[in-house]
Each structure stands twice: as C-alpha cells, then as structure tokens.
Structure 1
Amino acid sequence: MKKYTVPRLLLVVLIMLTGLSLFSCNSDSPEIPPVKLEDIKGNYKARLITIQGNFRTEKIIGFTVKKDTIAFEDFPVSEIVKSVIKDPAKAEAAIKAMGKVKYDLQYNATVNAGNNVLELTFTPKIMELQIPVDGTNKKAMVLLNAKQKGFYVGMDQSLRFAFSADKITVDGLEISPYDAINYNLPFCIKN
C-alpha cells in the first residue's frame, strides 16, 4: 500500500502546479487604452463609396479631422454636377472648371467608454456651389444630411461615417426627379 502514496502525492502536486500556471495566464492580455476626444484629430485616407440610384463608384480620398470639423479639401462633387447638368460633356467641363471644392462637415463627439469608441453626431450645413455651364454660373444649393452616427474606434484608431445629398436646388428650383447621393466612408485610417 505504501507504493501507491508517493505517486498520488506527486500527481496532486502536478495538478496544483498546472492549475496555478493556467491561472496566471488570465492577466496576460494587452491593456487597451481608453479612447479620448483628442484621439480623433489628424489626417485620414479613406475609401469613399458613392451610390446614386443604380450607380456606384469608389475612390480613395483624404480629409482632415479637427476638434469639431471634418474638412474636405477636395469634396467629390461629380455626381452633384451630373445631376444638375445632364449633358455628360458639359458636366465634365464644369467639374474641371470648378477645381477643388472645399467643404467642412461639423460634428459633435461623445465618448462611449463601454465600447471604447467616440460617437459622432453630424450637423451638416448646406453646400453652395457655382456650377459653370454655357458661359454662366448656376447657383446650386445641396442639402446634406447624416441620418446615422459616425464612430471613431479606439481599438484600431479608425473612423467610420456616412452622409447623403438629399436635395439639390438650382437657381431656386428643386431638381426633380432626383436620386439622393449617398457617401459612405466605411473605414478611414490615419496617415
């Protein structure tokens, strides 16, 4: 009977050591710093997906995020201009003549500590454009809208948001029929 007690004692000690070694692994996960309001600031690159009716385009754009503003130095206006000017050749000429269009999208950020994200609530202002066609300028007023919140994710430091051009008025007359233009930026990364 004595020859069974030594192996049992050794087995109990091995089980206890294994349990203690597994217990110490619980605290080995990396520390994720909490997101702060200042984290969102910077220059970004993003894949912009633009959808209007059955047409979809994608391109890479850049923008800058400041304290309460997303500043586009070259806002994508080709779909807006093509909605105003139906002739494709004249529309392309107008887009070239307009050059880079600047637009600032206002937002308010709040910290969601539970999900480690910043929630962005947008307050877009009306975009005013002077579209050159046939030697004159058409004054276009574009009503932008953001129906959902945007998010800055602290874990991967990415920004995600979407907005739309719901209505265009040219020289005081609303364009009709008109398909809204949706601008989706599903994954924006800092430079």
Structure 2
Amino acid sequence: MKNLIVLKVITVVLAVSIIFSLFSCMNEDRIDVPPVKLEDINGNYRGRLITVQGDLRNEKVIDFKVKKDSLTFQEFPVKEIVEKVVSDPVKVQAALTAMGKIKYKMNYTSVLNADKNWVELTFAPKTLELQIPVDGVIKKTLVTMEPKQKGYFVGLDYTLRFVFAAEKITVNGTELTPFEPITYNFPYCVKIN
C-alpha cells in the first residue's frame, strides 16, 4: 500500500512539472530575426558542397563570391563531369591537371521577404563550357546547369543555401546518354567577409 501511495505522488509531481514546462514554453517570445537588405548578401562565402550523382556522394568545402546579381566560383569542381567524359581514371587526373582552375558564374535575381529577414534568390545558371584534353585531342564539353530550388540568404545567421544540377552533358555536339544528373547542394554557406 505504501508503494502505491509513493508511486501516485511521483506520478502527480511528474505530471504537474510537465504541464508547467509546456506552459512556460508556450509563453516564451519568438526569436526575433534581424532585418536584412538585399545588399547584405554581397561578399565572400565558404560553404559545404555535397555533390551527388546516383549512389555516389562527395563532400568538400568550397569558396565563392556573391555580387549584386551574380555568384562566382573561382575554382568550380568539375571532377564528376570530367569523369563522365573520360572513363580512364589516370586520364581523368591528367585532364583535370591540364585544365587547371575552372571559373564559373551564375546570375540570379533576388527578392526580400515581407518581414525583411531573408532574401530569396532565383538562379539563372549559364551553360558551363569546358575544353577537356584527352590523348592530345580537345573534347569541347557543354554542361547544361539547372536550378533545383530557390536559394535563401537568412538574416538570423547570415548564411546562404542553394542547390543546382548538371542536367545534361554534350561532348563535341553529341549528348552523353545515359546520364544521371549531378546535383550540387550547398546546404550551409557562411559569409566570411
């Protein structure tokens, strides 16, 4: 009988504490997200890039720059693209070395949300043109890039998020088939200045 009374008291105390915890959470003020301006997005960024093609997934850190209406990569990662054009791994590495750093620029338009605490970006990627050297021959490669969703610059932590994909590759006028799109996901990019 004593154990039953103790169990009932503990249950009542636990129930009351849960109820008070829930009410205290409901009464807390929401976190105020600081307002941003369209110009706040401009600057240099460092972000995590997750590249996905089918079951293959790679991650790396990449830097890029955002200006008024464009996003520019000074060293765009093209390894996955070159691997689709050149099948021999030794020749892939030789081609990447010969190509050097690949610059890529994407245009965008931006809109400030009604609360002025985040910016929505609509990307208009250009076709990426590559000259891939293989066995003394240059393979002219055109990569069609498409946005997968809108990008967002958030005022709470001044971070940028966006996703786009290489949807089609054409080599010397012939489209690669079958080809599974290569997705470039930037889930969290931090403004470094």
Larger radius of gyration: 1
Deviation at 1:35, TM superposition (A): 1.2
Alignment of 1:103-122 (within 5 A): 103-114=104-115, 116-122=117-123
User: 1:85 and 1:136 mapped to 2: Cα distance?
Assistant: 12
Contact 2:38/2:112 (<8 A) preserved: yes
User: 1:30 and 1:163 mapped to 2: Cα distance?
Assistant: 31
SS of the residue 1:122 aligns to: strand
Q: What's the % identity of the aligned pairs?
A: 56
Contact 1:149/1:161 (<8 A) preserved: yes
User: 2:173 and 2:32 mapped to 1: Cα distance?
Assistant: 56
| Moved segments of 4+, more than 3 Å | 28-33
User: 1:30 and 1:147 mapped to 2: Cα distance?
Assistant: 30
| Distance verdict in 2 for CA 1:31–1:183, change over 3 Å | closer
Contact 2:52/2:182 (<8 A) preserved: yes
Question: How big is each residue's C-alpha offset from its partner over 1:79-127, in whole Å with a ceiling of 9 and x where there is no partner?
Answer: 0000101111111110111010000011100001337110000001111
Paired position in structure 2 for 1:138? 139
Alignment of 1:28-67 (within 5 A): 32-67=33-68
TM-score by length of 1: 0.83
Contact 1:118/1:152 (<8 A) preserved: yes
Alignment of 1:13-92 (within 5 A): 32-92=33-93
| Distance verdict in 2 for CA 1:33–1:93, change over 3 Å | same
User: 1:83 and 1:189 mapped to 2: Cα distance?
Assistant: 31
* Equivalences, count: 165
Between 32-41 and 156-165, the greater mean CA deviation after superposition = 32-41
TM-score by length of 2: 0.82
Long gaps (5+) in structure 1: 1-25
Q: Which amino acid aligns with 1:102?
A: K
CA RMSD in angstroms, aligned pairs only = 1.6
Contact 2:164/2:183 (<8 A) preserved: yes
User: 2:33 and 2:90 mapped to 1: Cα distance?
Assistant: 53
Contact 1:131/1:138 (<8 A) preserved: yes
SS of the residue 2:39 aligns to: helix
User: 2:148 and 2:53 mapped to 1: Cα distance?
Assistant: 16
Matched, 1:97 2:98: yes
Q: Which amino acid aligns with 2:120?
A: E
Paired position in structure 2 for 1:19? none
Q: Which amino acid aligns with 2:56?
A: F
